[in-house]
């Protein structure tokens, strides 16, 4: 048996668009129709049922919860802020606090207001100023109630899916645009980091802890040949560490938020730079169990990723880790095996402060719609009834005792 520290944060994560429902002013809403995707529609109706959902989280012994603020609700038209939406999120945060659950708040989780996308989205140099204006409003309203913030969720996934691979709105396929979005998001993070610290000082509130949620894969070679070793080293730097190097140099991280799901298996057959950076294994070299979406389940990769962060000497919060599956036993095995690897990294000196399972409940998995089931809580999308899964009950024991067998 392994034992986690007493003050560890245990809980789950969600994002506004994926659970709230009816986010009609967000750019994903018209895109789902345009692209012929499954519609997010009422989602889990969490916007209405958050109190009931937080009762369930509390009954499952969670002491932390990550959620996101929907920018398109706060600022449905450029420069027009909705007092009602701001109040809603104050109520949501207070609902967590009153249940003894630490809120961890994300400001941008993949969706943008339609007006923002129409004015050029994250490619536009004005995007940083627009995002900061929204963050200013939200920070001033929530600062008295929130200590932990994530500025942007998975910027590398956002810019690669939306601007490089053309899989998400606005479906661009442009290296130059991808680079602009990356640069603007990095600048936005740094700007918000400084803004938040300034506002907390002005309001005389103890300094917040600010980070972003970084999607990290375990990047491993099929074999130890020279090409694969070189490709692994290049990709670890480019995909996993480059953005952290940049933000730690700018002194714009109080902790590191890690989203970990799977591995990236490198198998390179030429010295061409494109292959070195992108070629992955197409054979069945090292088969592993897969989740519902076909992603490899690779728990030891979480320890690998965490150990790569040791050099930054910052606390780490696992902001997401989870599995979509129709077999709930697999979910519990996934949680257990990943927690063992979190503990292994901690025993080798990584300061991990918390673990948030993705997700508290089944939800809208972007372009894949509602089929993938990530939740600790099952959602019946016809009745919106919630059912606590067995894995959630087992995880609840971990949250209560800090012990993992
Ligand atoms: O559902 C997503 C989430 O929005 C961001 N991280 C990965 C999850 C699973 O794909």
The residue contributing the CA closest to ligand 1 atom 9 is 365
- For the Cβ of 320 lying below 6 angstroms from any atom of ligand 1, the answer is yes
The pLDDT of 206-233, averaged and rounded, is 98
Q: What is the pLDDT of residue 286?
A: 87
Contact 106, 158 (CB under 8 A): no
CA 220 and chain centroid, separation? 22
pLDDT tens track for 342-393: 999 999 999 999 999 999 999 999 999 999 999 999 999 999 999 999 999 9
In whole angstroms, give the CA distance from residue 96 to residue 384: 21
pLDDT for 196 beyond 90 = yes
pLDDT tens track for 224-248: 999 999 999 999 999 999 999 999 9
Q: Mean pLDDT, the chain, as a whole number?
A: 98
- For the Cβ of 358 lying below 6 angstroms from any atom of ligand 1, the answer is yes
- For the Cβ of 267 lying below 6 angstroms from any atom of ligand 1, the answer is no
- For the Cβ of 154 lying below 6 angstroms from any atom of ligand 1, the answer is yes
Residue spans per domain, the chain = 2-404
- For the Cβ of 365 lying below 6 angstroms from any atom of ligand 1, the answer is yes
State in Å, rounded, how far the first CA of the chain is from the last one.
Answer: 4
Could you please state the CATH topology (level 3) that the domain comprising 2-404 is classified under. TIM Barrel (3.20.20)
Contact 324, 373 (CB under 8 A): yes
Distance 290 CA to ligand 1 centre (A): 16
Q: What is the pLDDT of residue 393?
A: 98
Distance 24 CA to ligand 1 centre (A): 20
pLDDT tens track for 27-51: 999 999 999 999 999 999 999 999 9
Atom of ligand 1 nearest to the CA of 293: 10
Contact 216, 241 (CB under 8 A): no
pLDDT tens track for 271-283: 999 999 999 998 8
Q: Which two tokens stand for residue 391?
A: 């894995």
Give the contacts of 340 (CB within 8 A, at least 6 positions apart): 2, 299, 404
pLDDT band of 284, cuts 50, 70, 90: confident
DSSP letters along 7-43, please?
A: T-EEEEE--HHHHS---TTBTHHHHHHHTTPPP-TTT
pLDDT for 215 beyond 90 = yes
Could you tell me what percent of the chain has a pLDDT over 70?
A: 100
- For the Cβ of 15 lying below 6 angstroms from any atom of ligand 1, the answer is yes
Provide the 10 A C-beta neighbour count for residue 389. Answer: 18
Q: Please name the helix (run of DSSP H) or strand (run of DSSP E) that holds residue 390, with its range, or none.
A: helix 390-401
In whole angstroms, give the CA distance from residue 158 to residue 50: 26
Q: What is the pLDDT of residue 285?
A: 84
Q: What is the pLDDT of residue 195?
A: 98
Atom of ligand 1 nearest to the CA of 374: 9
- For the Cβ of 14 lying below 6 angstroms from any atom of ligand 1, the answer is no
pLDDT for 294 beyond 90 = yes
The residue contributing the CA closest to ligand 1 atom 2 is 365
Distance 18 CA to ligand 1 centre (A): 9
In whole angstroms, give the CA distance from residue 385 to residue 396: 20
pLDDT tens track for 295-335: 999 999 999 999 999 999 999 999 999 999 999 999 999 99
Altogether, the residues listed in the chain come to a count of 405
In whole angstroms, give the CA distance from residue 188 to residue 369: 29
């Amino acid at each position: 048996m392994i034992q986690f520290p007493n003050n560890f944060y245990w809980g789950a994560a969600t994002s506004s668009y994926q659970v709230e429902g009816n986010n009609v002013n967000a750019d994903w809403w018209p895109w789902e129709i345009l692209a012929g995707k499954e519609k997010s529609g009422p989602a889990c109706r969490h916007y209405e049922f958050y109190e009931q959902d937080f009762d369930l989280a509390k009954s499952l012994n969670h002491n932390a919860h990550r959620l996101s603020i929907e920018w398109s609700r706060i600022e449905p038209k450029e420069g027009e802020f909705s007092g009602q939406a701001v109040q809603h999120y104050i109520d949501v945060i207070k609902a967590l606090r009153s249940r003894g659950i630490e809120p961890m708040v994300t400001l941008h989780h993949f969706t943008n207001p339609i007006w923002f996308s129409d004015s050029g989205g994250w490619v536009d140099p004005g995007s940083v100023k627009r995002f900061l204006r929204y963050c200013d409003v939200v920070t001033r309203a929530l600062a008295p109630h929130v200590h932990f913030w994530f500025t942007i969720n998975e910027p590398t996934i956002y810019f690669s899916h939306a601007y490089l691979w053309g899989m998400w709105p606005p479906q661009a396929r442009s290296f130059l645009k991808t680079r602009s979005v990356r640069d603007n998001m990095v600048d936005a993070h740094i700007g918000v980091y400084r803004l938040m610290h300034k506002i907390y000082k002005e309001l005389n509130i103890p300094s917040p802890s600010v980070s972003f949620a970084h999607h990290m894969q375990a990047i491993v070679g099929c074999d130890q040949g020279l090409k694969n070793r070189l490709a692994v080293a290049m990709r670890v730097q480019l995909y996993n560490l480059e953005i952290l190097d940049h933000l730690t140099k700018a002194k714009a991280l109080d902790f590191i938020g890690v989203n970990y799901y799977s591995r990236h298996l490198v198998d390179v057959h030429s010295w061409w730079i494109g292959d070195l950076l992108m070629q992955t294994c197409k054979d069945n070299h090292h088969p592993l169990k897969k989740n519902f979406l076909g992603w490899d389940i690779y728990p030891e990769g979480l320890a690998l990723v965490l150990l790569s962060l040791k050099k930054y000497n910052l606390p780490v919060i696992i902001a997401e880790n989870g599995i979509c599956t129709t077999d709930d036993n697999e979910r519990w095995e996934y949680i257990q095996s990943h927690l063992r690897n979190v503990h292994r990294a901690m025993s080798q000196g990584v300061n991990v402060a918390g673990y948030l399972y993705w997700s508290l409940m089944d939800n809208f998995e972007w372009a894949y719609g509602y089929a993938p089931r990530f939740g600790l809580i099952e959602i019946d999308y016809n009745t919106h009834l919630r059912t606590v899964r067995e894995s959630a009950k087992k995880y609840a024991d971990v949250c209560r005792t800090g012990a993992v067998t």
